[in-house]
């Protein structure tokens, strides 16, 4: 994929996994701790993928995400479990910390109809602000 798209002027960057979620948590219960999935499984995977991107084009940009659970769940947003951008260094020009924020992540009952309840708009706004603040802090650290 990197070789195919690395020099395509319409490709801004690569996002190897959309909304990663820890699998087989029964085998490794530590993955249920905030940040552990990020550091233990995602970072090494992202590093391998990043090597391929950079080999194909040294200017490639790697969009990487935290695990969707338990990093953000039931109104809590935990710091990302990455110490550095995967395969990079602090302030890497080749990395973007990507985050998806959905009001439904706030908790039970928010999206019973499939969409956020409009009467909870203020709660949703606070949730998004918390996610932005936490991920902005992560981005400064990375």
- Among residues 19, 33, 47, 115, the one annotated as catalytic is 19
Q: Containing H/E element for 123?
A: helix 121-141
The backbone torsions φ and ψ at residue 88, rounded to the nearest 5 degrees and listed phi first, read: -130, -160
- Please state, in angstroms and rounded to a whole number, the distance separating the CA atoms of residues 34 and 134: 13
Q: Judge contact between 71 and 22, C-beta under 8 A.
A: no
DSSP 28-96: -GGGGSTTHHIIIIIHHHHHHHHHHHHHH-TT--EEEE--STTTEETTEEPPPS-SS-TTS-TT-TTEE
| Active-site residue flag, 19 | yes
**Residues catalogued as catalytic:** 19
């Amino acid at each position: 994929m990197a070789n195919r798209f690395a020099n395509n002027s319409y490709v801004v960057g690569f996002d190897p996994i959309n909304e990663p979620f820890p699998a087989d948590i029964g085998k490794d219960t530590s993955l249920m701790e905030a940040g552990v999935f990020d550091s233990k499984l995602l970072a090494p995977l992202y590093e391998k993928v990043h090597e391929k991107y950079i080999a194909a084009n040294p200017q490639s940009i790697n969009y990487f995400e935290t695990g969707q659970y338990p990093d953000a769940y039931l109104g809590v947003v935990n710091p990302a479990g990455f110490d550095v951008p995967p395969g990079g260094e602090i302030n890497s020009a080749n990395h973007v910390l990507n985050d998806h924020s959905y009001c439904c992540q706030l908790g039970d009952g928010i999206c019973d109809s499939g969409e956020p309840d409009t009467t909870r708009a203020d709660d949703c706004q606070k949730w998004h602000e918390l996610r932005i603040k936490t991920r902005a802090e992560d981005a400064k650290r990375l």
